[in-house]
């Protein structure tokens, strides 16, 4: 099965009421872990790369690693997604490199730091959608800034994100604006701000409704029932991985992620794509620290990279099962970018049905 548009996977997820974890990748071992977990659970795959990952791995290396996954696992549908594109140019270059989906994050200006106006976000996202849909590529947009409802601060990771105080309105996606945004841009998916953030340090306590606004997802879904919603910053930060890292020399303080049961609530309210990176980073770090501590005389990188694949695979498989992706990979009928370009041109995907708020 060749690379497929993200829209194909999200449509199937919506029709069958499940969510798909979208895993960030930087190297071969991460892709191997994800694909092994997908094979084990029969799940569709979203491999996504940030601008930082593209710079780190190198465009050609990253592209061929993904193509190797497609060749090795021909039965698994795979979407290749650009995460947090800061500009139209970033998205266009991703399409040129073979990405089947791009995120135009117009919630921030091109410096990836300054909160943008609603008008700017609409215009830049609309332009990317126009180009992407002409060649069958899917587009994810974002409305609202990622940041903490607990502290009122924005967050930055991998060179992307606002650092500083944000208003409560900026930290939560407005349902009325969401309707306007989707209608004006024609995005295939919408990332919403609900109090989650990137990295391991999301919450200082187990999140409740006042600092993790899952209810906002439900409000937006009620207004836009046919729009695929996306949760960013959705790693759960497992306590056992933190403990293992600290047992072998790490110094990660107490912190809390997004509980799986809260993500499941989101999926029941229209979330179809769930971004996860930190959990996999923690799994790899725990495995590497443990392996090096067990044999400090060892210097072969395979000694600690093999267990890192195993630990990350376990996390990925758990998420596939928890989000109800498992068992759906083989049910998806493949479709090419060309087929999707024709659908967009014919208006197969019209403006979303909008319900009236009460």
For the annotated catalytic residues, the residue numbers are 83
Report the C-alpha gap between 269 and 257 in whole angstroms.
20
At CA 120, angle to CA 117 and CA 125, rounded to 5? 125
The radius of gyration of the chain from alpha carbons, rounded to an integer in Å, stands at 19
- Distances, alpha carbon 40 to alpha carbons 6, 21, 317, 321, 322, in Å: 21, 15, 7, 10, 14
Sign of the CA dihedral with 115 first, then 206, 192, and 171 last? negative
How many helices, marked H, and strands, marked E, lie in the chain?
Answer: 13, 8
CB count in 10 Å sphere of residue 95? 20
CB count in 10 Å sphere of residue 153? 15
Longest dimension (CA), the chain: 66
Name residue, tokens 């903490």: 148
Report the C-alpha gap between 1 and 94 in whole angstroms.
21
């Amino acid at each position: 099965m060749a690379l497929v548009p993200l829209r194909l996977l999200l449509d199937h997820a919506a029709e069958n009421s499940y969510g798909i974890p979208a895993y960030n990748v930087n190297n071969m071992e991460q892709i191997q872990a994800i694909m092994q977990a997908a094979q084990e659970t029969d799940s569709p795959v979203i491999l996504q790369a940030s601008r930082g990952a593209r710079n780190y791995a190198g465009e050609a290396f990253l592209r061929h690693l993904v193509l190797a996954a497609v060749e090795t696992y021909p039965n698994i549908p795979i979407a290749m997604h650009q995460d947090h594109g800061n500009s139209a140019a970033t998205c266009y270059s991703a399409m040129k490199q073979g990405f089947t989906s791009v995120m135009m994050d117009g919630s921030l200006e091109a410096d990836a730091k300054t909160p943008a106006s609603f008008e700017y976000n609409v215009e830049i996202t609309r332009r990317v959608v126009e180009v992407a849909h002409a060649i069958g590529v899917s587009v994810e947009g974002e409305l609202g800034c990622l940041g903490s409802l607990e502290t009122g601060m924005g967050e930055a990771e991998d060179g992307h994100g606002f650092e500083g105080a944000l208003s409560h309105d900026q930290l939560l996606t407005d349902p009325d604006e969401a309707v306007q945004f989707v209608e004006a841009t024609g995005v295939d998916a919408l990332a919403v701000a609900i109090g989650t953030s990137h990295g391991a340090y999301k919450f200082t306590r187990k999140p409740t409704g006042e600092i993790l606004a899952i209810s906002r997802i439900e409000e937006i879904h009620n207004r836009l029932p046919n729009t695929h919603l996306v949760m960013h910053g959705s790693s759960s930060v497992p306590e056992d991985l933190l403990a293992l890292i600290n047992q072998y020399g790490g110094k990660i303080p107490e912190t809390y992620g997004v509980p799986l049961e809260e993500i499941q609530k989101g999926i029941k309210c229209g979330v179809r794509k769930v971004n996860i990176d930190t959990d996999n980073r923690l799994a790899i770090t725990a495995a590497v620290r443990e392996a090096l501590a067990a044999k400090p005389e060892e210097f072969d990188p395979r000694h600690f990279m093999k267990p890192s694949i195993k630990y990350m695979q376990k996390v990925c498989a758990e998420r596939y099962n928890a989000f109800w992706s498992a068992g759906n990979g083989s049910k998806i009928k493949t479709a090419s970018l060309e087929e999707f370009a024709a659908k967009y041109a014919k208006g197969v995907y019209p403006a979303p049905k909008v319900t009236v708020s009460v």
